[in-house]
Amino acid sequence: MSTDLKFSVVTTVIVLSLIVAGALTAVLH
């Protein structure tokens, strides 16, 4: 697995996590 691909996957996961966290915060508040 190339470094660039791994970095892209990690970045995508982090971004999705932030979006989910933001959505949950918006729903709870």
Q: Where are the domains of the chain?
A: 1-29
Res 1: pLDDT: 67
Three-state SS string over 1-29 comes to CCHHHHHHHHHHHHHHHHHHHHHHHHHHC
Q: Is the pTM of this model over 0.85?
A: no
pLDDT (tens place) for every residue of the chain, 29 residues total = 689 999 999 999 999 999 999 999 999 98
Which residue reads 């932030």 in tokens?
Answer: 18
Res 2: pLDDT: 87
What's the CA gap between 14 and 3, in Å, rounded?
A: 16
